[in-house]
Structure 1
């Protein structure tokens, strides 16, 4: 599976699981009710979908210009760190707004989510590549 179809399947699967897991995790971390936790999870998912499409397109363009083919452990870590790092920039203000907390409190909450999702992103990407194969940019 390649191109737009690959990206749509990737984002859909990633975000479906992410919404479920992050709503549960946020409820546990923040003590907020299910409504607030679900709202943050849905907003975060929407932001993540847009960021995911932009980031993965750019990452695959970068991969096209590399001399080495394939995705090593280091490249997978770079991918996960880049994606999650960008997401922190977008999500902290949203968490602060929804939960009516300071940016510092929102950052601490987001860092807890980041720790979980850094591992989740790494594992999901590896599993996705194993299941659907690598994108053409990596194997060409």
Structure 2
């Protein structure tokens, strides 16, 4: 399994790159002030960082409990991992987006789905590249 330091690096890099990409794009698409979108994005980012750490830890522990190698991650598993993470995060962020951007829950859901779709593709690509740049340690008994 990954170390705590590696999980922190993974999470921080993910959020920094994601924020720098998503915030200006969301400001433009939603026609909202960049600072308002920026504050919202940072709030969601902090929520996502904490959740991401816990989610990945639980995901790895489930793999270990199922006696699956944690260093082998086929495309279907990466896809499932990303979809479950985004759906979970979406349920936590829609009420905040509605309140912060003064939208209905429906409009916030649509906006948040846009964020989720962006981050779904981004998470898939990011995690794939991350595992290449920072490979998982291979257990000695494998």
Change (3 A) 1:94 1:135: farther
- Matching residue of 1:57: 57
In 1, Cα distance between equivalents of 2:137 and 2:111? 33
Q: Give yes or no for the alignment of 1:133 onto 2:135.
A: yes
In 2, Cα distance between equivalents of 1:131 and 1:61? 23
Structure 1: where are the runs of 5+ without partners?
Answer: none
> How many aligned residue pairs are there?
139
Aligned residue among 91, 105, 108 for 2:107: 105
In 1, Cα distance between equivalents of 2:138 and 2:80? 19
Shift, 1:65, TM fit: 2.4
Structure 2: where are the runs of 5+ without partners?
Answer: none
Question: Which has a greater percent of helix?
Answer: 1
Structure 2 length-normalised TM: 0.91
Q: Give yes or no for the alignment of 1:25 onto 2:30.
A: no
User: What is the correspondence of 1:86-101 to structure 2 with a 5 Å cutoff?
Assistant: 86-101=88-103
- Give the 3-state SS of the residue equivalent to 1:134 in structure 2: coil
In 1, Cα distance between equivalents of 2:98 and 2:44? 12
In 2, Cα distance between equivalents of 1:2 and 1:63? 13
Shift, 1:39, TM fit: 1.0
CA deviations on 1:35-76 (whole Å, 9 max, x unpaired) are 111011101101101110110110010111234431111110
Shift, 1:136, TM fit: 5.7
